[in-house]
Amino acid sequence: MTKDQVRARIEEIAIIPAVRVASREDALFACEAVQRAGIPIVELTMTVPGAVELLAAMGKHNSGVIAGAGTVLDLETAERCIDAGAQFLTSPGLEIELVEFAARRGVLVLPGALTPTEVLTAWKAGGDMVKVYPCSQVGGARYIRSLRGPFPKIPLIASGGVNHHTAPEFILAGAAALGIGGNLIPREAIAERQPERIAELARRFKETVAEARALLAR
């Protein structure tokens, strides 16, 4: 998929499941569970042991999944992830060199930002979408709405503490997508190998996003 196609798919689904687990086996289970639940996107964080190798494996065996690298903090890791087939890169904070590097390589990049200055800087540096993190801790949907005022053309991803109750609020406030971790992929569901629990959570998130977008379309 091209960078534009990846971005379009993320904006269509509007949910980016973040996989942050303690083992490769847990990561594989989580990735497969969200895919089977109808969310063909996964952000595999670099805190997962063997994350780069797992990205490469996913690229070979899961052609229908958009697999990206999360918590990318430096250029060396970014290069390894891209070489392994990562279709997007994201980070919790703003690292300009990383944004510019991904842009040069033609890979979708979702830099993390919090303040208005960081959001604007991330966008001007070449960010394709900007991940507002940690969003819930600084006002949640109201904060996204306040950023949308001066930055109506910047696609914002709400990330950090997004749950079923706040998900529609973020969409209604103007978020282009939601970054969701433990509220979609609970540790207990992973430990106890409960794909049906993750599937139900995914169904609820997809439903709330669809309902919120229907309200916006009225």
Residue pLDDT, tens place only, 136-173: 999 999 999 999 999 999 999 999 999 999 999 999 99
Average pLDDT on 27-39 reads: 93
**Cβ(187)–Cβ(19) under 8 Å?**
no
Average pLDDT on 200-214 reads: 96
Instruction: Count Cα neighbours of 5 within 13 Å in the Cβ-side half-sphere.
Output: 6
- CA distances (Å), origin 114, targets 4, 120, 152, 208: 24, 10, 16, 25
State residue 1's pLDDT score. Answer: 86
State residue 26's pLDDT score. Answer: 95
Distance of CA 170 to the CA centre of its chain: 14
State residue 173's pLDDT score. Answer: 97
Average pLDDT on 76-91 reads: 97
Average pLDDT on 89-94 reads: 96
User: Could you tell me the domains of the chain?
Assistant: 3-217 (3.20.20.70)
State residue 197's pLDDT score. Answer: 96
Q: What are phi and psi of 122, to 5 degrees?
A: -60, -40
- CA distances (Å), origin 35, targets 66, 72, 105, 135, 152: 10, 22, 27, 25, 31
